Structure 1
Amino acid sequence: MWDFRKPVIALLAPTLLVVLSLAVAGGHLGIGLSVQGILPNLPYGLSILAMALGLWFKRERVFFTALPLGLVNVTMLNLWQQAPATGPLWEVGFAALCIVLPLYLLSVTFFQDQGIFSRSGLTRLLWLFLPVIAVVVAVDSTVPAQAQKWLGEALHARLFSTDVDFWSHLPQSAILLFGLSMLFLAGRFVINPTPMEGAMLGAMGAAWAALHHVGDGAMPSLLLSAALMMVIVAVVQDAYHMAFLDELTGLPGRRALFADFRRLGQRYSVAMVDIDHFKKFNDTYGHDIGDQVLQMVASRLERVTGGGRSFRYGGEEFTIVFPGKDVETVKAHLEALREIIAGSNFLLRDEDRPDKAPKDRKEAGPAKKNKNIRVTVSMGVAGPSVEYPDPDAVMKAADKALYKAKEAGRNRVAA
């Protein structure tokens, strides 16, 4: 079953930032004139911050997205914010930027994080100046007027009726490029719903909206600021995931567990969970199967009831923290969880089974059954007491209870 929570969470920040930008631009938040005067320059600071984060975390996509968005703000403020919507500056220069920008931002999504100052990074830095070169050449006074006219006509050429672009400053080709780019990025996001993929999708949409609102006061700068904030928030989210989430299971890791310990009150319970005979899984079926077992168990632990929060402690061990719950209350939830894991089907694919189904079913021979592996866990739970006054001590007590469960035959809960 597809988990809708990850894409919803990943798109939450981009959506809120766009809504906030529109609210500020519409004057709905009652921001004073002194603050409003800062808004056109806000993308510069955000662009520098995003580029610094890109350099620090060696994220090329972040760096090469932030820099052009800052340059676009400079260009719009100085060339088109108060310029009439006529002449080569508008008809050629603005149209060229609108067409090149979505192509550039789309290309950035394919960049691999190999280092900004590597050979590939410097090559991409040259690619960055394509939008700038396109605008400069388009409005260069040395270009013959007839050539500029032909270029303007080419940039504004219509493939479809005026119904497609009558509502926007952007040329029809630019609208189509932005639309197709956003569809492609939406597809990437559905396949891989990470904060960065969501930010790239949101930044593309915000960049289109900024160009659409050119000449509309501080609106373009606010929308570009929203695009940059999306990228910044995504970097912070990714950094959090790297620091606090276990890459294999997706559960919070040991560092997150100890941070959670500092927020506990006086009443809580801690459970230690261990996969029974896990070493045997690895020795018999290999580490790939062992990893799949870990992922399966983690997915069940993530849905523990009773307000529990699950963490991967290390290896085949997990920890569940129940804030505000005593041991007797928690045991019922742990028993239910243990039964769910023991009743889960873990099918081991037959080693001789081909990766693809044969074209001729008759040649495939008799069907081979997949092996059903039974996975169980043992659990130990403890709460604070005079002997175990703090979370670290309670966790050690839960670990002792876990070994009691193992000695009693495994696949059980002990306190």
Structure 2
Amino acid sequence: MITQQEDRELTRCRRLIEEKIGWGRSDGWSTQDFERLGEQIADQTGISLSVTTLKRVWGRVRYDSAPTATTLNALVQFVGYENWSHFKDAPQNDFPQDGLPQYESIVQPEHLKKMPAVVPEPVQLRRSSDKRRWWIGGGLLAGIVGTLVFFLNYATPEPLSSADFSFSSRPVTKGLPNSVVFHYDATASPTDSVFIQQSWDPNRRELVPKNGHEYTSIYYTPGYYRAKLVIGRQIVKQHNLMILSDGWHVAVMRNPVPVYVKPEEAIHNGALGLSVAAIEAHNIPMQPQPPTVLYRYVREFERLNARNFVFETRVKNDFRKGSSACQHVHILVLCKNQYLSIPLSAKGCIADLNLYLAGHYAEAKTTDLSAFGADLTKWVDVRCEVRNKHVQLFVGGKKAYEAIAPNAFTDIVGVSYEFEGTGSVDFVRFNRLDGTTAFEDKF
């Protein structure tokens, strides 16, 4: 069980991380947000934390045991501490009276924290010139020793050259799950710590032989991934990898392997929707923690650029019992190396929402996102128009939000729906700005 003191320390750690990444309240984070956080932690610390582990830390998955030492160390290293013990022993002055963390005050480099304060010499004390020279010499020596200690402990190893390594991959089939054969050459590595990481999910980072050249891994969800060859803590090679869905991918998200459902079992009466009965038939309970149902379609679209397009769909949430009263829905337009995330919820729950538009982030805590609240027991129309990266979002026929998407993104490669509990999609359509249709499905 987690003690009260451990819970307070973990709460402080979570708030520091939230302040650092600046994504707003974690209550509204989607699975994709936890995926991005896991990737950032792995890139900075070299420690892989799975999406499930992060959700447990943030209380999104019920788990009574305390996180492991490895998990705790990775979390605090991400915000500038040496390890969990250092984090606990450090002065807890990072919470001002208003409860917000002062991130700058706790990331002072450790070597500076350990330096003794300079105490002025009392004017009434007389010292001979010899004593003064002794003190000056001793101070210089201490400074040299301190500098050496700093560089021995904190200097970053010389980065490896990516030209000394090779890395490529080849999917073996269509559909899910899908095995991918990686070809690599890491013989130039100065260490045996050679890893292949599938993408954003650091839990899918595997140790491979330094002198080996092939490794096969399994992907469980379609998408556009960024596979990585990692030496020690440095990413030396990475490349794009697209896992096609071969039609609609329907799954109930579980760890470590989702529960797959055939699309024909979820398509009926002109809509895509997995019923509660179908979920429970797979021995998945709806309470007390409702599952997340995923519908995803990934493919190469002809002439469908993410800078200029119109996306339209109609959705509803089909489960509103117990802890699913908010009926959260996340719609994602998947692009190469970026995505647009459109949130929906019951009207009374919009305070938990946040949205992400290829680098532009907004949270309901500081932005009025009330237009994304709707009666999701009924069909709700959603429209996304992008013209030269200017994004306009419409919910129920009314403009809900607009912004400029700052990050670079090119082609659209798919669409994804995440329903709290379960939900339905009436239709989905991508149009080019000239009015031609790139993709449409009315089920």
Structure showing greater Rg: 1
TM-score by length of 1: 0.22
More helix by share: 1
